[in-house]
Amino acid sequence: MSDQLTNDNIMAALSQVRDPEIGRDLVSLGMVKGIDINGTAVDLTVELTTPACPLKAKIESDIVEGLEALGASAVRVDWASNVKRSFGGPAADLIPGVRNTIAVASGKGGVGKTTVAVNLAVSLARDGARVGLLDADITGPNVPLMMGTGGAHVTGSGGRVNPVISHGVKMMSIQYFLTGDAPVIWRGPLIHSAIQQFLRDVEWGELDYLVIDLPPGTGDAALSISQLIPLSGAVIVTTPQEVSLLDARKAIAMFNKVNVRTFGVVENMSGFVCPDCGGEHDIFGSGGGTTIARELGLEVLGRIPIEPGVRSGSDAGVPITSAQHPAADASAAAAAMRELARTVAGRVSVVAAPFAEAATA
């Protein structure tokens, strides 16, 4: 038994370990939930701010290093998580059980917003978070098909509506209210009231993250959402072509105008790895996302390659990141999507940190 291995000394050592994302130490963030000392073996429970923590390995190695310096011979970290809210106040009343909201948007259509939103939601759920996915594209709802729920219909009673659940994600879409393929031609006020109902009348329950798939452009749906509920932040999807980048700038400007933080840019369809020759081809160019991100002081949150399995997975209702997709573990695009989800979860935790503090103060 090392005499240095006391509760106090361990806490002091852990107060030197920082959560690299939030930039503060584990003790002052209240992340250390239990310490069990058995001779020179130490078991601890650390509560992360997201189960999709991008820097778990780094935190773990820093903990082990700190405790070994005190004489510990075996350190076991049990991970727990508690996702905090990143907003407060009456604006959040419409969605009382929802802790964070992530809008996925783009200026230009067809760049892969829905694909990114769906895989973001599925990845967060696979990491253990409670996730909802709201299809805010009222005129071109694509979430149901991509999640394999194209034929689902809403259920509920007493004015409450149950979400449809697939791949571990709770969803709502106008598609679940429609019969047949009749196109939806709705104008602004109706779009606003449909989205309001999706938020207010759906039994979302407790959600760590509500991912919102927005229609292309800077129209009514994006404005409605930002007026109705607080947004933790927006993720802007672009492809590397110049025209897509130009439109991405407009989307970012719109979010700035309504005081919604943009987490950063996702460059989708960034390069194609040829399955025959193994060479990488820049079909739409590459690096354009980096250029606008730099220009606007934003971050590139991820780069997703073009991969046939992404499209076929979407068409078949099995997203590439779903455990049910046969290529989920081999696909570079799936790996990029899962990493993107963790990066975004990390950014949300940073936004939530001051709110959590205010709530416990």
Residue 271 interaction partner, one of Mg ion, ligand ATP, none, beta carbon < 5-8 Å per kind:
none
Q: Among residues 84, 99, 108, 113, which is the contact residue for Mg ion, using CB under 5 A?
A: 113
The phi and psi torsions of 218 (rounded to 5 degrees) equal -120, 40
Position 49 contacts ligand ATP (CB under 6 A): no
**Which residues contact residue 149 at a Cβ distance below 8 angstroms, ignoring those fewer than 6 apart?**
164, 166, 171, 176, 317
Q: Measured between alpha carbons, how far is residue 66 from residues 4, 47, 63, 75, 81 in Å? A: 12, 18, 5, 10, 22
Position 175 contacts ligand ATP (CB under 6 A): no
Residue 110 interaction partner, one of Mg ion, ligand ATP, none, beta carbon < 5-8 Å per kind:
ligand ATP
Nearer to Mg ion, 72 or 172 (CB): 172
Q: Among residues 114, 238, 270, 343, which is the contact residue for Mg ion, using CB under 5 A?
A: 114
**Which residues contact residue 207 at a Cβ distance below 8 angstroms, ignoring those fewer than 6 apart?**
97, 98, 99, 130, 131, 132, 170
**In sequence order, what DSSP letters do the residues of 245-266 get, joined into one string?**
HHHHHHHHHHHHHTT--EEEEE
Minimum Å distance from CB 202 to ligand ATP?
A: 21
Nearer to ligand ATP, 46 or 138 (CB): 138
Binding mask 309-328 for ligand ATP (x = CB under 6 A): -xx--x--------------
Strand blocks (E) in the chain: 18-19, 24-25, 32-38, 41-48, 74-81, 101-105, 131-135, 164-166, 169-172, 209-213, 233-238, 262-273, 280-281, 300-306
Q: Among residues 42, 95, 306, 348, which is the contact residue for ligand ATP, using CB under 6 A?
A: 306
Position 109 contacts ligand ATP (CB under 6 A): yes
Task: Considering only residues 218 through 277, tell me which ones interact with ligand ATP, judged by CB under 6 A.
Answer: 268-269
Residues at the interface with Mg ion (CB under 5 A): 113-114, 142
Residues at the interface with ligand ATP (CB under 6 A): 106, 109-115, 137, 140, 142, 215-216, 268-269, 304, 306-307, 310-311, 314, 333
